[in-house]
Structure 1
Amino acid sequence: MSRPLSLPAPRSAAAPLAALFAAQALATGATTISVSLSSILAAQLSGQEALAGLPSTLNMLASAASAYGASRVMAARGRRVGLTAAYLLGALGAGVAGLSAIMGVFWLFLLGGALVGVAAGAIQQGRYAAAELVAPAVRGRVMGYLLSFAVVGAFASAAFSPALTRLGARLEVGAVELGWLLGAVFLALGGALIALLMPARTLEAGISETASVRARSLRAIFMQPAALTALLALGIGQGVMVMLMVLMPKHAEHLGHGLPTISGLITAHVVGMYGLAWAVGGLVDRFGERRALACGALLLLVSALTAVPATGAAPMGLSLYLLGLGWNFCFVSGSSLLVRAVMPEDRLRAQGAADVVVWSCAAAGALGGGVLMATAGFVAVAALGGIASLGALVAAATLRQPDRA
């Protein structure tokens, strides 16, 4: 028997959107002060520099493995249950990682970090929950605003660094370890906001549950040109971004740049990823996903082409900024296009499958790019990024803009 569907009225969408925006900021803050510094702890706990990248790799693989399952949970139980569970699981994982790092137990630290990755695979789908709460004409803008709150979280977490350092000195505990524990608090707060302010069900969740007899296979869904283009936009954008983001700092180190310069490069990249997300979403709504995706692919291509000749701090920073901005265009346009191109009864499964591809491309970009750089140099890495960006550009050029849905 079908359950009655409950879709929040436009006015009542303000509270759940506020919860999603704040939770996104908290989640980004949690990962900024924990996962992003996991390589430092991994090297310390294992005693092997070669294992420094293992936590990040496990984190991305765990996210890829959990994304589709998370979408199925949300289809059956609603966004509120799925997202709340994800945030609380992330809080548990961050707490385990922090405590195990303090105790010096490497395998338990890896387990905690992997649990955070499992949670991240579901938390990322909060952008679709935000899109479901608003009219089709403003979905891109809302998803852009959601990404913009990631900047708030990143800078807020940075503001805690001095306090963590002082507290760590007082307790004789490393500030990085305390960062994981603070991340657990952030994620728990995010889960509480979702649990209190999100509606029990959204329209898409209800339809997915009641219309299962009409649901199509994932192959049939992604055989549609618009859905396939959305998948390519998300996957290529994520893969190219992660590959160049991870390896450009190493390239800068090879060129003789020190830690202050490399930190500045990462900052430029983060600003590119999130700083203009609020504006990018509006551009997607105004000009359509096709043009926005083409713009994103061009920006990725320019970033790849300028990555090798850029040897100074400013040119490298500009290249990484364009990389982040190109990813933003691809991510917002691809997410918006996927919502538009897929029927409501198929959306949650399609979104989960798409996020599996996103996280898999991220892991492949990080691992494959590292191997390629070790064997053929950074020029080959940049060339691969450029070729992949051309693929996204071709996909955008051949796309017929679907009707709003």
Structure 2
Amino acid sequence: MTHERRVVLSLATAQALFQTGVVLLMTVGGLAGLLLAPTKVLATLPIATVALGTATATIPASLLMGRMGRKPGFLLGTLFGMAGGATAAYAMTIGSFPLLCLGTALVGAYQGFAQFYRFAAAEAASEAFRSRAISYVLAGGVVAALAGPHLGALTRDLVPQAAYAGSFLVILGLSLTASAVLAATPLPGGGGQAQDGPAARPLTVIARQPRFLAAVGGAAIGYVVMVTVMTATPISMVAHDHHVGDAATVIQWHVLGMFAPSFFTGWLIKRFGVTPLMLAGVAALTAHVMIAVSGVALLHYLSALILLGVGWNFLFVGGSTLLTETYTPAERAKVQGFNDFVIVGVVAAGSFSAGALNEAFGWRGLNLAVLPFLAAAALIILSVMRGQPRTAQA
């Protein structure tokens, strides 16, 4: 096995372990909060603090790895995951809601580091393998989609008289295993920020590049559309007389739609180019809207949500690949940090606003409301294709 493929396999494994813990947390976090929260209104606060922890850690994580290298940063991230799992488990044993929220925020900080796995894979790969390296790492999410929800059910009563404490201990174990995998991965141990080459440009200069705008804008729009609709889906399904189990099945297929295409997204980028693939992502999200507004039967939700996941995948993998072409090694840390901070911000906004939008406009209105954002993403991507015919072939 070549060096680059060994690195990608290790990072994909770490991604699968991390993402499984996140899906597990999303499965049990609200239920654990319901047991400890002083009011039902605050039951989902432990999940919201995950986004807060991620937003807080994202830019410091990127800058830290710019100085120290990927491996120390990733190992520090797994320590946050272990601390978060242990803290949340202890919170369940003593019945402390604030401590539970602290634990989930620490898991969010772990995510602030782990979301850079895809960029580390790109940096270890040759130019010809870069887009496939990014997509293969994200393919680890397939394991999470299958394992995460079931782990939540299996570990609920693992610790006697402390419901869900066992689930959080599993997150600790997954983080510990990821730490062992990363420790054995041949990533740069320090001095991650390149010192040769031209001096780093200001972020304001970098951000004026059409490719940068397409990379960040396309990925961010794809993410906010996906998160807003996905978060509102269970609420809408139950309101239209579907069983909670049907909603869980739809979400599971949606998550598979998000990550399963990663096994071939990199090949599609290599074959057709990155901007055509991103346009295909916009088309898939538009097709989702058309199906979603056409009816509320189970098949409508299922097929629409699968397309929602595929569209997200094409825009996110494509945007991540395109972003790698917009900066020099000296600019890498701040550009990647800014990119992921923007994405975390829109994820938080989408998840917080989904319920209110669904309540105010209904399922049909919520889906129609995303069309202007998709049109904006298409225009940004088309402007790059017209101005720079040579698309990324990473």
- Hey, what does 2:294 align to over in structure 1? 309
Alpha-carbon deviation of 1:155? 2.4
Please name the residue that 1:137 is paired with: 128
Deviation at 1:68, TM superposition (A): 1.2
CA distance in 2, matches of 1:22, 1:103: 33
CA deviations 1:118-166 (Å, max 9, x no partner) are 1101100110000111111221111111111221233244554565256
Are residue 177 (structure 1) and residue 165 (structure 2) matched?
A: yes
- Decide whether the 8 Å contact of 2:156 with 2:167 is kept in 1: no
Q: What code does the residue aligned with 1:293 have?
A: M
Identity within the alignment, %: 28
CA distance in 1 between counterparts of 2:308 and 2:337 reads: 25
Distance 1:380 1:53, change over 3 A: farther
CA 1:186–1:338: 2 relative to 1, 3 Å? same
Q: Which residue of 2 aligns with 1:151?
A: 142
In 2, Cα distance between equivalents of 1:202 and 1:77: 4
Note the aligned Cα RMSD (angstroms): 2.0
Pair 1:51 & 2:39 matched: no
Q: Which of residues 298, 302, 321 is equivalent to 2:283?
A: 298
Who is 1:190 aligned against? 178
The residue that corresponds to 1:5 in the other structure is none
The count of residues paired between Structure 1 and Structure 2 equals: 390
- Cα distance, 1:276–1:128 mapped onto 2, change above 3 Å: same
- Shift in Å, 1:211: 4.9
- Aligned partners of 1:261, 1:154: CA distance in 2, in Å? 16
- The code of the aligned residue for 2:123 comes to E
Show the counterpart of 1:38: 29
Structure 1 285/213 Cα, relative in aligned 2: closer, same or farther at 3 Å?
closer
Match of 1:196, as an amino acid? A
Matched residue type, 1:282: W
Query: Paired residue for 2:111?
Result: 120
Residue 200 of structure 1: how far off its partner (Å): 2.8
Moved over 3 A (4+): 156-163, 165-168, 401-405
DSSP 3-state at the match of 2:11: helix
Contact 1:144 1:282 in 2 (8 A): no
Structure 1 unaligned residues grouped into runs of 5+: 1-9
Q: State the one-letter code of the partner of 1:102.
A: T
Indicate the residue corresponding to 2:356 in structure 1: 371
Supply the distance in 1 between the matched residues of 2:76 and 2:17 (Cα, whole angstroms): 15
* Amino acid paired to 2:231: V
Distance 1:386 1:98 in 2: 42
Report SS of the residue matched to 1:167: coil
Within 5 Å, give how 1:5-44 maps onto structure 2. 11-44=2-35
Aligned to 1:266: 251
Distance 1:139 1:213, change over 3 A: closer
**1:307, 1:316 within 8 Å by CA — same for their partners in 2?**
yes
How far does the alpha carbon of each residue in 1:253-277 deviate from its partner, in whole angstroms, 9 at most, with x for none? 1101111111111111011101121
Match of 1:237 among 222, 238, 244: 222
Residue 346 of structure 1 is matched in structure 2 by: 331
- Give 2:70's aligned residue: 79
Instruction: State the alpha-carbon separation in 1 of the partners of residues 203 and 5 from structure 2.
Output: 33
Q: Deviations over 1:61-93 (max 9, x none)?
A: 321222111110010000001111011111111
What is the TM-score normalised by the length of structure 1? 0.91
Separation (CA, whole Å) in 2 of partners of 1:194 and 1:372: 41
**Amino acid paired to 2:240:** L
State the alpha-carbon separation in 2 of the partners of residues 289 and 50 from structure 1.
43
In the alignment, the residues of structure 2 paired with residue 109 and residue 230 of structure 1 have an alpha-carbon distance, to the nearest angstrom, of 36
Aligned to 1:283: 268
Counterparts in 2 of 1:39 and 1:162: CA distance versus 1, 3 Å: closer
Aligned mates of 1:113, 1:212 — CA distance in 2:
41
| Cα distance in 2 for residues equivalent to 1:202 and 1:150 | 28
Partner of 2:316: 331
Aligned partner letter, 1:82: G
Change beyond 3 A, Cα 1:132–1:38: same
| Distance across 2 between alignment mates of 1:28 and 1:220 | 34
2:48 & 2:231 partners in 1: Cα distance? 12
1:403 Cα shift?
5.8
Corresponding position of 1:69: 60
Q: 1:285 to 1:65 in 2, by over 3 A?
A: farther
Contact 1:226–1:402 under 8 Å retained in 2: no
- How far has the Cα of 1:201 moved from its partner? 4.3
Q: 1:354: how far off?
A: 0.3
Q: Does 1:396 align with 2:381?
A: yes
Q: Hey, what's the Cα distance between the residues in 2 that align with 1:301 and 1:403?
A: 24
| Structure 1 residues 186 and 385, CA gap change in structure 2 (3 angstroms) | same
Work out the CA distance in 2 between the residues paired with 1:276 and 1:228: 24
Q: Which residue of 2 aligns with 1:254?
A: 239
Aligned pair partner of 1:101 in 92, 98, 109: 92
Query: Aligned to 2:122, what secondary structure does the other structure show?
Result: helix
1:309 aligned partner, one-letter code: S
Q: Distance in 1 between matches of 2:382 and 2:295?
A: 29
Report the more deviating stretch, 151-160 or 237-246: 151-160
> Structure 1 residues 315 and 403, CA, compared in 2 at 3 Å: closer, same or farther?
closer
